[in-house]
Amino acid sequence: MNLGAPEIVLIIVVLLLLFGAKKLPDMARSLGKSARILKSEAKAMKKDDAPEPAAEPQGPVVEAPRTIKAAPGDVTSSRPVAEPTDTQR
């Protein structure tokens, strides 16, 4: 499908009418954050699937909990991947 300039302008006008000019930057920002999270998780999954070297580790191995980060420095949206399942109070 080949989109020309008139079609793109029409799409932008319709989006502005539907969502308003104030909401579009926030929507684009959240879409960018989601894309970064998806990209980092896909990279982590590929890294997890790679074969590990056969060398035995020397001493105890302690793994830190993995976190999902939306953007560098965005601490409010970081959270542990493995959340506790203990429901006792």
Q: Per DSSP, which regions of 1-89 are E strands?
A: 67-68, 79-80
For 32-58, how does the pLDDT look when each residue is reduced to its tens digit (9 = 90+)? Answer: 999 999 999 999 888 877 776 666 656
For 12-22, how does the pLDDT look when each residue is reduced to its tens digit (9 = 90+)? Answer: 888 888 888 78
Give ∠ CA 75-81-84 in degrees, rounded to 5: 105
Q: Where are the domains of the chain?
A: 21-48
Question: What percent of the chain has pLDDT above 70?
Answer: 55
d(CA 76, CA 67) in angstroms, rounded, equals 12
Predicted model pTM: 0.39
Mean pLDDT value across the chain: 75
